[in-house]
Structure 1
Amino acid sequence: MTHSYGLKKGTRSKFAKPFRGHGNISIRKTLQTFRRGDFVDILVDGAQHKGVPFQYYHGRTARVFNVNPRGIGVSLQRRVRGRYVEKRFHVRADHLRPSKCREEFVKRVQENDKKKTEANKKKQLISTKRQPVLPRGAEVVKPNATVFQNPKAFVEII
């Protein structure tokens, strides 16, 4: 019998639930809120067969552009023959999770704002540019005393 050419071909392990992670979909996943502009990670939940995106998008990060009662519209850039094309599609909320890709950036912006307000109070100019990690400073190793290591005398065992 020939193999099928369906949309979900070759997804046996990709869409499988993890070890000891089988069972019903948690209500928390279904009821999570998404707003337009949020970044989300697309991770297909094998227990929910409705609203499944195509397997290429599993593990990708996208941006929410539309919110409906049963579907979340997401868009991302997909490479097609050497160029990037915007792809837009709707997915169930069970297959999405909020992405952590902007956490570090948002945290850095908040820290920079605090630094700027403190500098403005002191009437100083500061640079908020990130500096690369510089090489470590040179160190000179000086031993306390010179230790000579000579081989021990060979003793024949009879």
Structure 2
Amino acid sequence: MVKAPKGYRHRTRKLFKKNVREKGSIPPLSLVLREYKEGEKVHIVINPSVHKGMPYRRFHGKTSVVLGKRGKAYIVKVMMGDKEKILFVRPEHMRPLNIPQAQQA
């Protein structure tokens, strides 16, 4: 019997699947060029077509707080249960947290 592989992207076939109707495999420039400020909340949404700066699959769909910037990547803090994890994520794998206008006031 062959042992199951335990690579960095194992068991991600459905998790990293892209929408069939999505145009192109590259992320939109508005997401790549967006500057995030310190303390801003972001969602981690992994783009499988960009391998650089990709966080581990466990963090896909989590909300995090931007702590700073290191090179092209951002330093983000994610809460996993009661533990705090620090990640280095490129902007291709991040989406800004959209808070409705009624809640901002």
TM-score interval, smaller chain: 0.7 to 0.9
Question: Which portions of structure 1, spanning 4 or more consecutive aligned residues, are displaced by more than 3 angstroms?
Answer: 101-104
Matched, 1:85 2:83: yes
More strand by share: 2
Secondary structure of 1:37's aligned partner: coil
Matched, 1:44 2:46: yes
Matched, 1:73 2:96: no
Higher Rg? 1
Percent identity over the alignment is 25
Superposed displacement of residue 102, structure 1: 7.0
Look up the equivalent residue of 2:91 and give its one-letter code: A
1:149 aligns to what?
Answer: none
How many residues get paired?
103
Q: Contact 2:78–2:87 at 8 Å: present in 1 too? A: no
More helix by share: 1
Higher relative contact order (CA 8 A, sep 6+): 2
**1:77-135 deviation line (CA, Å, top 9, x unaligned):** 112xxxx11111110100001012575431xxx3xxxxxxxxxxxxxxxxxxxxxxxxx
Look up the equivalent residue of 1:66 and give its one-letter code: G
C-alpha distance 93-2 of structure 1, shift in aligned 2 (>3 A): same
C-alpha distance 24-61 of structure 1, shift in aligned 2 (>3 A): same
Secondary structure of 2:4's aligned partner: coil
With the length of structure 1 as denominator, give the TM-score of the two structures: 0.60
Matched, 1:55 2:53: no
Q: Contact 2:47–2:93 at 8 Å: present in 1 too? A: yes
Alpha-carbon RMSD: 1.6
Q: Which runs of 5+ in 2 are unaligned?
A: none
Matches within 5 A, 1:98-113: 98-101=96-99, 104-106=102-104, 110=105
